């Protein structure tokens, strides 16, 4: 057969395959999301996320130490708040002596080089489980919520957070938080905006982990419609104008086109959140022997990189780091 073009020649050995490989994932790209619980010497596994634990502060510090020695240097922290500390205004979120802020301070004291990405949203702290303030009719209030988010973000910056991560999807929150931070001279504290965060079924295991599911309704008046991609450009433009340092797409795998769209359109680094449900799917199938979990993980992370994300928040971070040693 006369074939002048034979693409298979570039696949004939591992060395050549390595030479022509276009994309790769490194531990430098990964952020490890971690769940925090009150107490001492306590850890418990999230039932729907095998291998992922909620840690008390002391054990979280040990886990961070282990992860740092594996090369993971960035962590996104989420608190599991006891019901009795929740209220309508999420006031525990700016309680300087509370679990979350205390833990951020401890981490930064023990590991100054660890990069801590905080979470700004009301849901772990609010009685309703919504990310914003709720009025008597069940409407999520935007502008009133900004004040709460602002207090929360400032308290996190004071505790030592390196990057503030607003995950709430209220309009105007990036600019609002940026100006509060700047007014208090936190000009070096970054903002990783959850730019295109979709109203997704893939957050289920996360809400189990934090016991933060909405007590009524859904999040569709603030999180984006999964059918929309052009709308992500509107969110991206606003975040750029309002001073975001990173643009995030969440979830990752069902939204690779959105990652690519933001990557093509904007100059800021794109982050993607490989969320709890994406982790649970692979783990469940692997536990059943239905697919090779490690290979599926590596292929998944690579696909997210390939689509244009520079940074990946993933519950696979530690497992990936262990495999790449």
CA neighbours closer than 13 Å in the CB half-sphere of residue 302: 10
> For residues 29 and 119, which CB has a smaller minimum distance to ligand PBG in the complex?
119
Residues 6+ apart with CB under 8 A from 296: 282, 285, 286
Q: Please give the residues from 100 up to 119 whose contact with ligand PBG meets the rule CB under 6 A.
A: 119
Tell me whether residue 310 is one of the annotated catalytic residues.
no
- Token readout for 269 is 């680094």
> For residues 56 and 200, which CB has a smaller minimum distance to ligand PBG in the complex?
200
Tell me whether residue 219 is one of the annotated catalytic residues.
no
Query: CB 243 → ligand PBG: shortest distance, Å?
Result: 20
> For residues 121 and 159, which CB has a smaller minimum distance to ligand PBG in the complex?
121
- d(Cα 312, Cα 325) in Å, to the nearest integer? 19
Of 73, 207, 260, 306, the residue at the interface with ligand PBG (CB under 6 A) is 207
> For residues 268 and 272, which CB has a smaller minimum distance to ligand PBG in the complex?
272
Residue 193 in contact with ligand PBG, rule: CB under 6 A: no
Instruction: Indicate the angle between helix axes 256-265 and 293-306, nearest 10 degrees.
Output: 30
Query: CB 302 → ligand PBG: shortest distance, Å?
Result: 19
Of 131, 162, 239, 242, the residue at the interface with ligand PBG (CB under 6 A) is 131
The residue count of the chain comes to: 325
Query: What Cα–Cα distance (Å) separates residue 274 from each residue in 19, 57, 279?
Result: 28, 24, 7
> For residues 16 and 201, which CB has a smaller minimum distance to ligand PBG in the complex?
201
- Give the interface segment with ligand PBG, choosing from 53-61, 83-91, 106-114, 199-207 (CB under 6 A): 199-207
Of 77, 152, 271, 275, the residue at the interface with ligand PBG (CB under 6 A) is 275
Of 206, 222, 263, 316, the residue at the interface with ligand PBG (CB under 6 A) is 206
- Token readout for 12 is 């004939």
- Token readout for 202 is 């893939």
- d(Cα 138, Cα 223) in Å, to the nearest integer? 16
Element housing 191 (H / E) = strand 190-197
Query: CB 80 → ligand PBG: shortest distance, Å?
Result: 12
- Token readout for 64 is 């961070």
> For residues 108 and 207, which CB has a smaller minimum distance to ligand PBG in the complex?
207
Residue 195 in contact with ligand PBG, rule: CB under 6 A: no
Catalytic residue among 86, 219, 250, 318: 250
Residues 6+ apart with CB under 8 A from 133: 88, 89, 122, 140, 141, 144, 145, 148
Indicate the DSSP class of residue 126.
B
Residue 31 in contact with ligand PBG, rule: CB under 6 A: no
Residue 128 in contact with ligand PBG, rule: CB under 6 A: no
Residue 203 in contact with ligand PBG, rule: CB under 6 A: yes
Element housing 58 (H / E) = helix 57-69
Of 29, 92, 123, 162, the residue at the interface with ligand PBG (CB under 6 A) is 123
Residues 6+ apart with CB under 8 A from 78: 33, 34, 35, 36, 119, 124, 206, 209, 210
Residue 260 in contact with ligand PBG, rule: CB under 6 A: no
Of 126, 145, 276, 314, the residue at the interface with ligand PBG (CB under 6 A) is 276
Residues 6+ apart with CB under 8 A from 37: 43, 44, 54, 55, 56, 79, 80, 99
> For residues 59 and 275, which CB has a smaller minimum distance to ligand PBG in the complex?
275
Catalytic residue among 197, 283, 305, 318: 197
Are the CB atoms for 152 and 133 separated by under 8 Å?
no
Residues that bind ligand PBG (CB under 6 A): 119, 121, 123, 131, 167-168, 203, 206-207, 219, 275-276
Catalytic residue ranges: 197, 250
């Amino acid at each position: 057969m006369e074939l002048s073009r034979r693409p298979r020649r570039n696949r004939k050995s591992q060395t050549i395959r390595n030479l022509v490989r276009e994309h790769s994932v490194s531990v430098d790209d990964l952020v490890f999301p971690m769940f925090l619980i009150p107490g001492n010497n306590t850890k418990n596994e999230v039932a729907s996320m095998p291998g992922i634990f909620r840690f008390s502060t002391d054990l979280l510090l040990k886990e961070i130490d282990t992860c740092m020695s594996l090369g993971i240097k960035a962590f996104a922290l989420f608190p599991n708040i006891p019901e009795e500390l929740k209220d309508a205004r999420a006031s525990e979120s700016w309680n300087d002596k509370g679990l979350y802020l205390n833990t951020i301070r401890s981490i930064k004291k023990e590991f100054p080089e660890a990069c801590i990405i905080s979470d700004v949203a009301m849901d772990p702290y609010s009685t309703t489980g919504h990310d914003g303030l709720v009025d008597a009719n069940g409407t999520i209030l935007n502008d009133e919520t900004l004040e709460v988010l602002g207090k929360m973000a400032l308290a996190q910056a004071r505790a030592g957070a390196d990057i503030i991560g607003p995950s709430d999807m209220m309009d105007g929150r990036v600019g609002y938080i940026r100006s509060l931070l700047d007014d208090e001279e936190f000009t070096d504290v970054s903002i990783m905006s959850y730019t295109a965060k979709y109203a997704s079924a893939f957050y289920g295991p996360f809400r189990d982990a934090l016991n933060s599911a909405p007590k009524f309704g859904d999040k569709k008046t603030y999180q984006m419609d999964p059918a929309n991609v052009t709308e992500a450009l509107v969110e991206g433009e606003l975040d750029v104008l309002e001073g975001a340092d990173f643009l995030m797409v969440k979830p990752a795998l069902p939204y690779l086109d959105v990652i690519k769209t933001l990557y093509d359109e904007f100059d800021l680094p794109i982050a993607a959140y490989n969320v709890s449900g994406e982790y649970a799917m692979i783990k469940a199938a692997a536990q059943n022997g239905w697919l090779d979990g490690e290979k599926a993980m590596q292929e998944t992370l690579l696909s997210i990189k390939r689509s244009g994300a520079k940074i990946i928040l993933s519950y696979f971070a530690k497992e990936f780091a262990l495999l790449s040693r």
